[in-house]
Amino acid sequence: MAASILRRSLLTPRCRAGDVAALHSGPSRRRAQAPGPIASGRRAANSPAGERGVAPWVAVVGLEIHAQISSNSKLFSGSQVQFAAPPNSLVSFFDASLPGTLPALNRRCVEAAVMTGLALNCSINKKSLFDRKHYFYADLPAGYQITQQRLPVAVNGSLSYSLCVGRKKNQMVTRTVRIKQIQLEQDSGKSLHDDIRSQTLIDLNRAGVGLMEVVMEPEMSSGEEAAAAVRELQLILQTLGSSQAIMAEGQLRVDANVSVHHPGEAYGVRTEVKNINSARFLARAIDYEIQRQIKELENGGTVMNETRAFDFKLGCTIPMRDKEGKQDYRFMPEPNLPPLILYDTKSLPANTNHQQVVNIDWIRERLPDLPSVRRVKLVEQYGILPEHSFTLLNEDGLMEFFESVVRQTQMNPKKVIGWILNDMLGYLKQHNLKVKESPVSSLFLADLLNLLERGTISSSAAKQVLEELWKGEGKTPLQIVKEKKLELIQDQQELEQICQAVMEGHQEEVMEIKKGNQKVLNKLIGLVQRTTRGRVDPVLVKQILEKRLSQ
């Protein structure tokens, strides 16, 4: 298990009033020496912290992720699944737990779970079981949840993810976390708290929606790692189509189990931070909780086994409920559902109706390229940097936009990626737009880059054209170039006259250059660009200036 060593640091004093004050401390750092599993029992005796007599700390993070299955109907009923539908408008008799109603398993949900398990390198159990997990909330009408506690559909997988490390975050490393299991289960309803009227309303639209719970082993050690793993899982689910995994809509919710201990000792008491629906908030919540526990222990206190919530406005975790007394969920086999039997090509009985069974091999053969494979292909095909491939895939629709532009332009893909990531993506983020909402189509951007590549316009003029394209007026790049008179000045004599005029108007800069300060030459080139409104080739301008300065 990779784990980071967290040394003693000066922390902001914590406010005891319900833990509402945020600790503004940085994320945990990995110890440079002695990489590898801390579980081997080695102490960090040679670390600087050990020399000062200060015991280092190891953080341990495990995740439980609930992904809503992308299906038209719920896990055990035919009720429709729809986000933001009117309250209690999508509730069947079974969802409301009326007496006499029975569950009917949704084939699509089973296939989605198998597909996800295969993508995460899991072993698929050909026989899995359903259980009842008893607990009593107002938004759980039956008083129990149907889940897979004893024998889940998939076990023993792994997820590889990448993150940037180093002081400048310019070094990318790949790490792997083991997947303990993936299980099918029902979602609960939603409680809507009305503080004004001091009442709680129940919406059962979400009750019975199919979930996949992905349980990761406690092998991470910081919020940054956990967030990177969740983002990678999110991309995989979206690529498979097994879940839309839109965190803002609650389709991907994360519970983080966090503890700290000294190297070589048993794991500390863990706390669970529940229902985090943002990768960025997940990183902040975990890093805060690590520092909170360290400070608590170093001040002579104890860490409580409790459930906490993350307040993103205050930047801290706050207590929800105590878990010291272990809750008895009274697990029992679900009597109304037989074992779930899956087949592969070898075990599939003859003359079987393929609509009535789930074939693991059939699903395996139809798996799409996963994000890791697509990144490698992008780097190999277009010669872009690995970190650029991550950005292309992380932004929904950006890879398709990039490839469309590349197909329609003569510009080298290595140059195209700069315009996509710096100019396009920068504008979209500034205006909070998705790629599909961009006012600049891939065709128009390709036309603009073609004008630049053919030498019709300069780079600075191209940026002016792009600003006009953002207005979404429907004008083509060529029309804008002609209207704004942004074509490159091709007349050599005219260029030389402009350069001469700039030099005559800035004699101090000319003298500096002649004294050997070549950096000032860039200033003269910029002045020529400004005079011509970007209608000159800076390489040609540099040649003319150097020639005249040497005379």
Q: Give me the pLDDT at residue 18, please.
A: 39
pLDDT given for residue 125 in this prediction: 98
- The pLDDT tens digits for 387-410 are 999 999 989 899 999 999 999 999
Q: Cα separations (Å) of 423 from 286, 419, 463, 471, 478?
A: 33, 5, 8, 15, 19
Q: Are residues 541 and 400 part of one domain?
A: no
**In a 3-state reduction of DSSP, which class is residue 89?**
coil
Rounded to two decimals, the pTM is 0.82
pLDDT at position 548 is: 83
How confident is the chain (551 residues) per 10-residue block, as mean pLDDT?
A: 38 38 34 32 34 72 98 97 95 96 97 98 98 92 96 98 81 93 97 89 96 98 96 97 95 97 94 95 97 95 94 93 75 97 91 86 96 95 93 92 96 96 93 92 96 90 93 93 86 83 85 82 86 81 84 73
Is 1 domain-assigned? no
**For residue 426, what are the domain limits?**
371-484
pLDDT at position 517: 80
- Domain with residue 543: its CATH number is 1.10.10.410
Instruction: Show which of 484, 512, 533 is a domain's final residue.
Output: 484
Assess if residue 362 is contained within a domain. no
Q: Give pLDDT, residue 490.
A: 76
Count of structural domains within the chain:
3
pLDDT in the model for residue 31: 32
Is 68 in the same domain as 200?
Answer: yes
pLDDT in tens, 172-208: 899 999 999 999 999 999 998 888 899 999 999 999 9
Residue 530 is predicted with a pLDDT of: 84
Strand partners, 176: 160
Residues 156 and 280 in one domain: yes
Cα(149)–Cα(418) distance, integer angstroms: 49
446 lies in the same domain as 322: no
Q: In this structure, are 465 and 496 located in the same domain?
A: no
Q: Where does residue 61 fall: left (phi above 0), alpha (psi -120 to 50 degrees), or beta otherwise?
A: beta
Same domain, 432 and 390: yes
Co-location of 381 and 503 in the same domain: no
Apex 240 CA angle, 234 and 242, nearest 5: 80
What does the angle CA 302 – CA 306 – CA 312 come to, to the nearest 5 degrees? 105
Query: Looking at the structure, do residues 507 and 423 belong to the same domain, yes or no?
Result: no
Same-domain check for residues 146 and 265? yes
Same domain, 472 and 534: no
Domain shared by 469 and 412, yes or no:
yes
**Is residue 429 situated within a structural domain?**
yes
What per-residue confidence (pLDDT) applies to 168? Answer: 72
* Amino acid 505: pLDDT: 87
